[in-house]
Amino acid sequence: MILVTGAAGNVGTHVVRSLLEAGEKVRVMTRDPGQRSFPDGAEVVSGDLARPEALPAALSGVERAFLFPAATGVDAFLDAARPAGVQHVVLLSSSSVVAATPGFLGERHLRIERAVAGSGLPYSFVRPGAFMTNDLAWASQIRHGDVVRGIHGRAASAPIDPRDIAAVAVRALLDPHSGAEHVLTGPQSLSQIERVQIIAGAIGRPLRFEEATEEQYREQMLRYGMPAPVIDQLVAGLGAVSDGRAAAISPAVEQITGRPAFTYASWVAGHAAAFGPAPA
Ligand SMILES: NC(=O)c1ccc[n+]([C@@H]2O[C@H](COP(=O)([O-])OP(=O)(O)OC[C@H]3O[C@@H](n4cnc5c(N)ncnc54)[C@H](OP(=O)(O)O)[C@@H]3O)[C@@H](O)[C@H]2O)c1
């Protein structure tokens, strides 16, 4: 039995589907079983990493687990996983842990990685960079106009498709190698301006990236629900690469899965509806 936490998330959804396709027994843990739908064949249990009392039942009979990096609750999960006999934990982490300055997000993921590594349980770390799905934050602006406002449009990153993160996590669950640490990126370095142009091509109408002031950008991200320390890190990160230098690309997705990583264009094609219909 494999337990998947964060199973309704961008990554977890694909982890569940792939494990079921591979013929594995899958249990998903969700805080809200009534509001979530999971594929047939997945056993659904109610649970919350922040509420340890339900964890022993969720972990009963579990051999391997995909662990979502919730801000609180990972220690309790590990404490319950050991006596349950869990033999491998695959942690969704972040490439920010290997950055020269990990920042707020990197420090949070480092704390969780240290807890997992110190638990005595065999583990793998899956450390993706920015998800392609982050660009869904542009969807509302694109649905309502032809401008995406942001800062440092030339800043490049190598965003990764959550399907690829899930594919690596699934390999780590099916063929566990204790201590493996996979830093993952997408296959291309793309500036924000280039990504907006790829979306424009997919939805068939012109779009442009417009530079906002840092203050406007911070307000926009706060409205989007992003915590202030994360906005600080985002602003600093974009500023640090605003000269347009190319982002580093990791070959790990292709090496581990045996197929190329999904391109940004392929991700956009699958999400074109979120960016809205082309005007008549
Ligand atoms: N976005 C990025 O660019 C990026 C980059 C590197 C790393 N990451 C990491 O990836 C995470 C996001 O992954 P994602 O996009 O797949 O997630 P997501 O789409 O934000 O989904 C969140 C999932 O996590 C579950 N969850 C949240 N808190 C929980 C808790 N206390 N107990 C149990 N389950 C909980 C929720 O499950 P229920 O509501 O069903 O309980 C939900 O399915 C980030 O938080 C970060 O740690 C993100």
pLDDT in tens, 114-160: 999 999 999 999 999 999 999 999 999 999 999 999 999 999 999 99
How far, in Å, from the CA of 117 to the mean position of ligand 1?
A: 20
Cα gap 183→130, rounded to integer Å: 11
**230 and 138 housed in the same domain:** yes
* pLDDT recorded at residue 277: 72
Q: Give me the CATH number covering residue 214.
A: 3.90.25.10
pLDDT band, residue 278 (cuts 50/70/90)? low
What mean pLDDT is reported for the chain?
A: 96
- Residue whose CA is at the smallest distance from ligand 1 atom 19: 9
* pLDDT recorded at residue 280: 53
Flag whether 255 is in a domain. Answer: no
What is the value of pTM for the model shown? 0.97
- Does the pLDDT of residue 279 top 70, yes or no? no
Cα gap 11→131, rounded to integer Å: 10
List pocket residues of ligand 1, CB cut-off 6 Å.
5-12, 30-32, 36, 48-50, 68-70, 73, 92, 94, 128, 130-131, 134
Flag whether 252 is in a domain. Answer: no
**152 and 104 housed in the same domain:** no
Report pLDDT digits (tens) over 41-68: 999 999 999 999 999 999 999 999 999 9
- Could you give the number of structural domains in the chain? 2
Q: Which atom of ligand 1 is nearest to the CA of 128?
A: 6
User: Ligand 1 pocket test: which of 5, 36, 68 has the largest number of ligand atoms within 8 Å of its C-beta?
Assistant: 68
**202 and 271 housed in the same domain:** yes
- Residue 220's domain comprises 134-157+187-247+260-275
Flag whether 52 is in a domain. Answer: yes
Q: Which two tokens stand for residue 39?
A: 């594929």
Flag whether 280 is in a domain. Answer: no
Q: Give me the CATH number covering residue 106.
A: 3.40.50.720
Report pLDDT digits (tens) over 70-126: 999 999 999 999 999 999 999 999 999 999 889 999 999 999 999 999 999 999 999
- Does the pLDDT of residue 269 top 80, yes or no? yes
- Count of helix runs (H) and strand runs (E) in the chain: 11, 11
**226 and 173 housed in the same domain:** no
* pLDDT recorded at residue 29: 97
Flag whether 227 is in a domain. Answer: yes
Flag whether 36 is in a domain. Answer: yes
Amino acid at 145: G
Burial of 240 (0-12, 13-18, 19+ CB in 10 A): middle
pLDDT band, residue 276 (cuts 50/70/90)? confident
Please state the rounded mean pLDDT for residues 245-254.
97
**122 and 153 housed in the same domain:** no
Flag whether 83 is in a domain. Answer: yes
Flag whether 59 is in a domain. Answer: yes
